């Protein structure tokens, strides 16, 4: 990872073991600020407290040969939101985050973080930001606890008298208290992710930027990270969460943006994005719970449902879209005109065919549905 112009984190003393130490010029995106309660307008580099937490205008990154990794990105992240930055691997999410944090320069456009221009205001802004980008850089020869103590000691405003308390609290929050004495080189990928997140949480933050934070975590770990994100958001922290696991972050996001091939497709509240899919002709999915899934699939297919899937005793399928409204000059339609079946008629058809229906209803459009509707492409929701 190339070093940012500023600020820099001091590396270990020259007499410290260096066999597998990480780069010492890594960005201070998790640099802390003084202890104490947060108040509106407090903290170093406070600027424009009422504006978006993140705002970009035409943000562009082109690499050698003219390849565009990010193409004219206009992004607005409201303060206090849990913002899902969505897209498949390689679509430009991490490149965008690295520009926001001052790790790399933009080819064109501008970015503001917490109301201040980046990267020029990095020294004022980054102490208010916690970040976990492309995996944590850890000292493998140190324990998890000593890693955090070293990160905390790099902050000139950190009170050494309360360091142990801060470190212990951060380890407890990410579920690593029992493994605090273990060498970081022996940590699993998921444990390293947790320790990196703990480093970002040594101090209260106005903004937390997480790039694929559940990478390497088992289902239980994912649930714990979701609970932690909800807790941080409840405390007033804006959380900017980049991921390709749509089904995971859909459970915690209030807002989202969808990217593909370096370009922004849409952004807004999750509810508004769902409405966009419905307005474009999507109708959500029908879900039937039955011990006769094969018979249910046969009946539903005969009534026009598509993309039918079975998972045990659960059958889901896309309802056919409603017909387009006729032009004003068209004569009144006669008959059903190819109208999609009513839900009650579908239920009755299943029962007439001898399908034992134990559950029946529709699901709202998911973030996966939104992506497919916007791009016509599939999406790796399983990682």
**pLDDT for 211-256, tens place per residue?**
888 877 888 888 888 888 888 899 899 999 998 777 777 788 999 9
Q: Which of 264, 224, 226 is nearest to 245 (CA)?
A: 226
Q: What is the CATH number of the domain that holds 83?
A: 3.40.50.300
pLDDT of residue 260: 87
User: Which are the contacts of 380, defined by CB distance < 8 A and separation ≥ 6?
Assistant: 88, 89, 244
Residue 77 region by backbone torsions, left for phi larger than 0, else alpha for psi between -120 and 50, else beta: beta
Question: Is the same domain home to 139 and 251?
Answer: yes
Rounded to an integer, what distance in angstroms lies between the CA atom of residue 60 and that of residue 327?
Answer: 42
274/253 Cα distance (integer angstroms):
13
Q: Tell me whether residue 359 is in a domain.
A: yes
CATH of the domain at 299: 3.30.70.100
- Which has more pLDDT, 334 or 310? 310
Residues 61 and 99 both lie in one domain: yes
Percent of the chain at pLDDT > 70 equals: 73
329 and 182 within one domain: no
Crossing angle for the helix pair 343-352 and 293-302, to the nearest 10 degrees: 130
Rounded average pLDDT over 169-176: 93
User: Beta-strand (E) ranges in the chain?
Assistant: 54-62, 68-73, 76-77, 82-86, 108-113, 116-118, 129-132, 207-211, 238-243, 255-260, 263-269, 285-289, 306-311, 314-318, 359-363
pLDDT band at 367 (very low <50, low <70, confident <90, very high): low
Does 305 fall in a domain?
yes
Question: How confident is the model at residue 13, as a pLDDT?
Answer: 39
**138 and 265 housed in the same domain:** yes
Q: Is the pTM of this model over 0.75?
A: no
What mean pLDDT comes out for the span 307-328? Answer: 76
Residues 351 and 222 in one domain: no
Number of independent structural domains in the chain: 2
235 and 300 share one domain: no
Q: For residue 58, what are the domain limits?
A: 54-277
| Cα 197 to Cα 135: distance, rounded to the nearest angstrom | 9
Task: Please check whether residue 23 lies inside any domain of the structure.
Answer: no
């Amino acid at each position: 990872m190339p070093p940012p112009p500023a600020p820099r984190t001091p590396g270990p003393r020259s007499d410290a073991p260096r066999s597998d130490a990480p780069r010492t010029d890594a960005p201070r995106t998790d640099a802390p600020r003084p202890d104490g309660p947060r108040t509106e307008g407090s903290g170093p580099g406070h600027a424009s407290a009422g504006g978006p937490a993140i705002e970009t205008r035409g943000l562009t990154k082109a690499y050698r040969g003219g390849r565009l990794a990010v193409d004219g990105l206009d992004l607005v992240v409201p303060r206090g939101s849990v913002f899902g930055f969505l897209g498949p691997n390689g679509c430009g999410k991490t490149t965008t985050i690295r520009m926001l944090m001052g790790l790399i320069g933009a080819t064109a456009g501008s970015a503001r973080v917490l109301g201040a221009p980046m990267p020029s205001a990095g020294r004022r802004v980054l102490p208010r930001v916690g970040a976990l980008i492309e995996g944590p850089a850890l000292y493998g020869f140190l324990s998890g606890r000593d890693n955090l103590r070293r990160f905390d000691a790099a902050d000139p405003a950190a009170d050494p008298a309360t360091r142990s308390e801060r470190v212990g609290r951060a380890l407890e929050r990410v579920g690593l208290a029992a493994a605090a004495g273990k060498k970081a080189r022996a940590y699993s990928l998921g444990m390293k992710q947790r320790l990196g997140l703990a480093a970002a949480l040594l101090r209260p933050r106005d903004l937390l930027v997480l790039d694929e934070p559940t990478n390497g975590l088992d289902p239980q770990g994912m649930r714990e990270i979701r609970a932690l994100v909800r807790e941080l958001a409840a405390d007033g922290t804006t959380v900017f969460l980049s991921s390709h696991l749509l089904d995971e972050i859909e459970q915690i996001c209030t807002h989202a943006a969808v990217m593909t091939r370096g370009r922004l497709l849409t952004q807004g509240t999750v509810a508004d994005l769902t409405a966009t899919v419905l307005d474009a002709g999507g109708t959500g999915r029908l879900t039937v719970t039955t011990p006769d899934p094969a018979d249910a699939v046969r009946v539903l297919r005969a009534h026009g449902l598509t993309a039918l899937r079975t998972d045990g005793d659960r059958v889901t399928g896309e309802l056919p879209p409603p017909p387009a409204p006729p032009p004003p000059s068209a004569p009144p339609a006669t008959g059903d005109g190819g109208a999609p079946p009513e839900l009650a008629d579908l239920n009755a058809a299943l029962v007439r065919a001898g399908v034992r229906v134990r559950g029946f209803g529709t699901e709202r459009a998911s973030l996966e549905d939104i992506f497919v509707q916007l791009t016509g492409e599939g999406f790796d929701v399983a990682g």
